[in-house]
Structures are given as C-alpha cells and as structure tokens.
Amino acid sequence: MFSESFPYNQWRKLGVLFVFRFAFSVRLMLVPAFALMLVGCSTPPQSANAGVPSTGAENTSTTKVETFDNLPKLKGPATVVMETTKGTITIALDGDNAPVTAGNFADLVRRGFYNGLTFHRVEKDPQPFVIQGGDPKGNGTGGFIDPKTKTERTIPLEIKTAGDTQPVYNTEVVPSTPAKKLVLPHSRGAIAMARSAPLGSASSQFYFTLAPIDFLDGHYAVFGKIVKGEEVIDKIVVGDKITKATLSKGAENIQQLK
C-alpha cells in the first residue's frame, strides 16, 4: 500500500494513473492516488461509483452514441440545483458534449436518486483534490440499480476532443498536442463520473474537483461544472448529505429510453 505521507506531487510524477489503475479496487477513481480505494482495499479508487463492484474485462473499443439506446441521453444543456447540508450548488450539465454521461446524471436527479445520499470521500490533504458522492450504500461500493432490469446500470467512458464532431466511448484519450484539447477538462468545480478499472463501469457515483486536475483528463468523464455555489464544495466533509437535487432547467432535453 502507498504511504499517505508521500508528497502528492510526487505521486503525480511517478504516474498517478498507474497507481489509480493498479493500487485500488473498485470504483473510487477519484481521490488522490494514495487515499483511494473503495472496495477491495478500503475504498475503490476512481470509479464512476467509487465502490460499485465491477464486472467484466476492460473495454477499449469505441462506440457511437446512437448505439446506446438503452441509456438516457441529454440532448442539450440542463441545470441541476443540489442542496447539501453545507449549502446549495448549481451545476450546468453539458449534454452537447457529453450526452450519455450528462443524460445518466440528469435521469438520476429526475428520479430523486441522490436525495439523502452522503459524500463518502473527501480528499483535501496534502492538496485539494476531490469530493465524491452518489453511492446509495454510502461506502463507495454502490451504484444505481435499474428497477426495470434489477441490475446496476452502467455507462461508457465518454470523452470529446475539441474539433471532433462527437465523443469517443470506452477509450481513454490523451491529447497529443496542446492544441488538441479536451472539450471538458478537469478544471476546478468540474463534475465527473467515478468508475472502477473497466472503462464502462461508471454508474451513479460522481465527484467535484477542488482544484484543476489535468492528469485525470481523458481518463474520467467530465460532464458539467459548478456555475454557482463553488465555495460550498470547500466546506463539505465526509458524511455531509445531498438533501435534495432537482432539475431546474433542461428536463425536456432528456431523451427517453427506447
């Protein structure tokens, strides 16, 4: 296991992504390389559902949006108002550049799924990193169980590069040149999905970035950003709750499942 006393920047130099992929087990994917482990080790590392058990091998193929007929999609913008025990956060969802990821989140908000759930991961030391929530189990191992299929609904990794007409799916993207930037980077206040090692393992767990985290770009799907109440994420601690999350705008842009 890695020592939490090891300087944060050193992890980055040594290859945080390597640590994320091999030192953690389920879906936490988002907490500094040293403190993330949600299921298997303590808490899975970055994963769309930090903590949701993953199944299947890692998928590295690309798929077009049109083939995801079993998933909700957001065709345009939407706004989510998330009330927490530390204040209210307003989030702009980008359905134009992340239709599947934003659609999944918007659908869960519309269902009232996040109401009452806690923030189970908060990583602020030695440097601001992320806060993570959206797990119905509250321990980093849960995800959204679709009442129709009785199974966990997962979504593909979705990344879009500037200049491309549509995102690529289940493929990690590392821009080859500074000019080839991602449309939705991990800037402070970004909201993205956590997942386990399989690229298509994100479900309901999400995270907010407390600082720019460029080394996660292209490896985790950002689908929006905080537009009001950004100071609230700095106050949140483990155990704080999402008292209520609602769609204030854009509900009409959610594409119904076929």
In this predicted structure, which of 65-69, 98-102, 159-163, 201-205 has the lowest mean pLDDT? 65-69
The pLDDT mean for the chain works out to 80
**Spacing of C-alpha 73 from chain mean position:** 16
Question: Is 227 a domain residue?
Answer: yes
Establish if 257 belongs to a structural domain: no
90 in any annotated domain: yes
Number of Cβ atoms within 10 Å of the Cβ of 42? 16
The CATH code of the domain that includes 132 is 2.40.100.10
State the residue range of the domain holding 25: 8-250
pLDDT of residue 180: 72
Mean pLDDT of 191-218: 96
- pLDDT tens digit sequence for 147-202: 999 999 999 999 999 989 999 999 999 866 666 789 999 999 999 999 999 999 99
Q: How many domains does the chain have?
A: 1
* Strands lying side by side in the sheet with 222-228: 119-123, 130-133, 206-209, 190-193, 222-228, 87-94, 77-84, 242-249
Assessment of whether the complete model's pTM goes beyond 0.85: no
